[in-house]
Amino acid sequence: MTLFFPPSIARLVPLAAALALAGCMSIPAVPEHAGVPVPAAFSEAADTVSWTTAAPAEAQPRGAWWLGFRDPVLNDLVQRAGDGNTTVQEAAARLAEARALLRSADANRAPQIGVSTGVARQVGTNTANGTTPATLATAGLNVSYELDLFGRLSQASMAAQLDAQARKALLQSTLLMTQADVAQTYLQLRAVQAERALVDEGLQAYQSTLRLTERRFQAGDVAELDVARVQTEVASTESDALALQRQQALLTHALAVLVGEVSTGFTVAPAAGEATLPVIPAGVPGTVLARRPDVSAAQAAVMAAQARVGVAQAAWFPAVTLTGNGGYASPELGDLLKWSARSWGIGALLSLPIFDGGRRAAQEEGARARMDAAMAAHRGQVLTAFREVEDQLSALRLLDGQAQAQGRAVQSAVRATQLSDSRYRNGMVSQLELLDARRSELRNRRQALQVRTAQYTATVALIRALGGGWETMPLAGATLPQKFAAAQH
């Protein structure tokens, strides 16, 4: 059976078909917490640290957490890195680009107005007798506006807005990462300098022992083997000192790059004292992990991909555009602006592709695939966030016990060296016992420094894993770098 429609109804058939198709389409929902089961508490601190559900808050202040180390040199380096680090500058430029694209997407939802002028040589309409060539001059104002009946333009604008939100979160993440890298590199540099001082102290002790042994050898009290043993310890310790000096140079150069300065001639001011190790208060991880900017960026990327699925679906629907123009048209340039040469027109255009070879279906399939990828990336980011917090909580708990045990080892080693030195000078023990005692003391003191450095590094890593400091507001004396303060609004 064949159905016939009156011309007035036939015009509405494509629109009715599009509306029916719209009812069959839906944008997939984003699972809460990226589908990751939220634990009641972290396993490393089950009695004191609990998880609190909170909305992403990438715009919240991260706190001037580096001030907790109470080191003015570190404070200065972090501020300089915020202004000069090239990675932060690149992230800020990406945010500016995303905001420009958002303004471009919003502009598509506004009326488009333009002015046009032209001169053409033609035969036919607007010529003297329709057969004689004439010059036609035109000048007018053109206006067009696309009705967003099916949300295509609003979805595209929303996607661009979420992209800008993700870029803002990535700028926060990059700034936090840079600050953490500066802090860790600086604290490692201070640890190497302290370890080098220990090695230099041990070298002086070995050199003193060597002078004593050489005098006793000349007096015939000891054999040449004893002199060779001490000479071996002196040379080995000198080698360790040079290795630490090389490591110090590498860390200094790394700091120069992080603050955006040339490595040549770059120096770090001497420290006024040992940096303070901040204490992580109980209950902090569960309340601030939701501020992690990379997690917020991943969630915004998922929502942007979701909006673009809606844009791809809206491509199936008709596009309705209203147009209008007004101006003047005349075959004589001198008569162009006369009232009799005026012209105008209005119109409406409805377009609905019928057959496109599967292009729209492929675009929708691609948008859904990109959304699936974004959801997987978001889930991976959440899982990584939990792992990093658990890692650093474990590290800090175990390092605290290790530091206490290592402290006892250092005390015993220092006492053993004192006793061995006294007994050796009185001829009660051999040189081997004294050398062993000094090696043990130096080794344990260096290990204690390394454990302390690991505590600093793990503390900074936990702050980074939590998405920033635990203060609700920045500490006094800390400000966001001026270059990027405007990017937060």
Higher-scoring residue by pLDDT: 253, 117: 253
Q: Is the pLDDT of residue 483 over 70?
A: no
Q: Which of 62, 76, 50 is nearest to 460 (CA)?
A: 62
Structure tokens, 338: 């006369």
Q: Is the pLDDT of residue 235 over 90?
A: yes
Instruction: Tell me the C-alpha distance between 289 and 321, whole Å.
Output: 47
Read off the pLDDT of residues 317-353 as tens digits, 9 standing for 90 and up: 777 666 767 666 666 566 556 666 667 677 766 677 7
Q: Is the pLDDT of residue 4 over 50?
A: no
Higher-scoring residue by pLDDT: 52, 214: 214
- Across the range 198-213, mean pLDDT stands at 86
CATH number of 112-147+318-351: 2.20.200.10
Q: Is the pLDDT of residue 472 over 90?
A: no
pTM of the predicted model as reported, rounded to 2 decimal places? 0.70
Read off the pLDDT of residues 403-459 as tens digits, 9 standing for 90 and up: 999 999 999 999 998 898 888 778 787 777 888 888 888 889 989 999 998 998 988
Read off the pLDDT of residues 381-410 as tens digits, 9 standing for 90 and up: 888 888 888 888 888 889 989 999 999 999
Is the distance from CB of 168 to CB of 58 less than 8 angstroms?
yes
**pLDDT value at residue 372:** 85
For the chain, which residues make up each domain, given as ranges?
A: 28-109+150-317+358-488, 112-147+318-351
**pLDDT value at residue 433:** 84
Is the distance from CB of 258 to CB of 85 less than 8 angstroms?
yes
Residue type, 179: Q
Read off the pLDDT of residues 78-116 as tens digits, 9 standing for 90 and up: 989 988 888 888 888 888 887 787 777 777 777 777 777
Is the distance from CB of 176 to CB of 468 less than 8 angstroms?
yes
Ranking 21-25, 194-198, 255-259, 446-450 by mean pLDDT, the lowest is: 21-25
Q: Which CATH class name applies to 28-109+150-317+358-488? A: mainly alpha
Q: Which of 309, 296, 292 is nearest to 373 (CA)?
A: 309
The distance of Cα 197 from the centroid of its chain, to the nearest Å, equals 36
**pLDDT value at residue 141:** 72
Instruction: Tell me the C-alpha distance between 88 and 96, whole Å.
Output: 12
Read off the pLDDT of residues 32-44 as tens digits, 9 standing for 90 and up: 555 555 555 555 5
**pLDDT value at residue 23:** 41
Q: How many CB atoms neighbour CB 302 within 10 A?
A: 24
- Across the range 159-185, mean pLDDT stands at 82
Q: Mean pLDDT score of the chain, rounded to an integer?
A: 75
Q: Which of 309, 275, 60, 301 is nearest to 183 (CA)?
A: 275
- Across the range 239-255, mean pLDDT stands at 92
